[in-house]
Amino acid sequence: MRLAETLAALGDLLGRRCHGCGAVARGRGRGELPPLCADCARELAPWSGPACPGCGTMFPGATGGAGHLCAACRLEPRPWERLLFHGPYQGLLRRLVLDYKFHGRLGAQRLLCGLAREAWLRGGAPGAGGGPGALAPPDVVVPVPLHRRRLLHRGFNQSLELARGVGRLLGRPVPLAALERVRHTVPQMTLAAARRRDNVRGAFAADPGALAGRRVLLVDDVMTTGGTLEECAGALLRAGAAGVVVLVLARTPAGR
Ligand SMILES: [Zn+2]
Ligand SMILES: [Zn+2]
């Protein structure tokens, strides 16, 4: 056995493999995150610059402060109170999300749920510094649902698994079938931005029994234009939800 393999096996044995790249990790995990090597920890650092609290548009190059509502959000506010996200959809975060989504790499589960929880703690929890103020904690965690047909095809819904992980970490329930996709839709990423809103219009139904009067943390892996999330948030609010906060792992950088 070569030295590298021996070290890798030893790392496995001790639970010290980097959850980002599989190398033996020398550092500890950050907070409650699983172990990460120094390179991956650096690449998976949260977005620390200002960003729009409504849509997550990042303002690279700007310094200090938490960010202000962008012009688009001032003109047409999003239906949620705030968008929380971990970082831009690129590099290692993007690779991990895609791996998780399409290959069901459940090894990424712990890491991605940990990052989502960090995003909540950083941006919304009472006592979070630097953000635009604390949010009231959610009563329930709700994932963006897949249509039954796509779920059958893919075998698992990454948003549901994320929501379960976040719910566990925050001690909040993930009510079954609170939000359902009642209409099959074309995958949003295959459509131009202008057509995405039409594609998902009326695609979701929410259960007032599970949602009326509750504060909802709506969870998805990535936000691009936000058309799907807006449609979901609309359905949740029509079902009587007391408020919606959106939590995603990654936000696509502007213009994509
Ligand atoms: Zn690594
Ligand atoms: Zn905005």
Report CA(224)–ligand 2 centroid distance (Å). 12
Q: What is the pLDDT along the chain (256 residues), one digit of tens a residue?
A: 566 666 556 555 556 788 888 887 766 666 778 888 889 999 999 998 889 999 999 987 766 556 689 999 999 999 999 999 999 999 999 999 998 888 776 668 889 999 999 999 887 765 554 456 678 889 999 999 988 787 877 778 889 999 999 999 889 999 988 999 988 777 777 778 777 878 888 889 999 999 999 999 999 999 998 999 999 999 999 999 999 999 999 999 874 4
Cα of 43 from ligand 1 centre, angstroms = 9
Count of structural domains, the chain:
2
Whether residue 110 lies inside any domain: the answer is yes
C-alpha of residue 85 to centroid of ligand 2, in Å:
13
Instruction: Identify whether 93 is part of a domain.
Output: yes
Instruction: Write the CA distances from 187 to 90, 199, 222, integer angstroms.
Output: 20, 9, 13
Q: Which residues contact 225 (CB under 8 A, 6 or more apart)?
A: 188, 193, 196, 197
State the distance between the two ends of the chain, measured CA to CA, in whole angstroms: 46
- Residue 94 CA, ligand 1 centroid: distance in Å: 14
What domain range includes position 147?
46-251
Please tell me whether residues 4 and 127 are part of one structural domain: no
Residue 140: per-residue pLDDT: 97
Q: Are residues 89 and 148 in the same domain?
A: yes
CA of 197 to the centre of ligand 1 (A): 37
Which residues crowd ion ligand 2, with CB under 5 Å? 52, 54-55, 57, 70, 73
Domain co-membership, 26 together with 144: no
Looking at the fold, whether 14 and 60 belong to one and the same domain comes out as no
Residues 152 and 220 in one domain: yes
The predicted structure's pLDDT at residue 115: 94
Domain shared by 200 and 107, yes or no: yes
- CA–CA separation, 171 vs 174, rounded Å? 10
Is 52 found in the same domain as 33? Answer: no
**Gap between the Cα atoms of 97 and 114, Å rounded:** 13
Same domain for 60 and 17, yes or no, is no
Closest ligand relative to 38 C-alpha: 1
pTM score over 0.85: yes
Residues 16 and 89 in one domain: no
Residue at 256 is within a domain: no
Name the closest ligand to CA 22. Answer: 1
127 plus 9 within the same structural domain: no
Do residues 75 and 148 both lie within one domain? Answer: yes
21 within some domain: yes
Residues 14, 96 share a domain: no
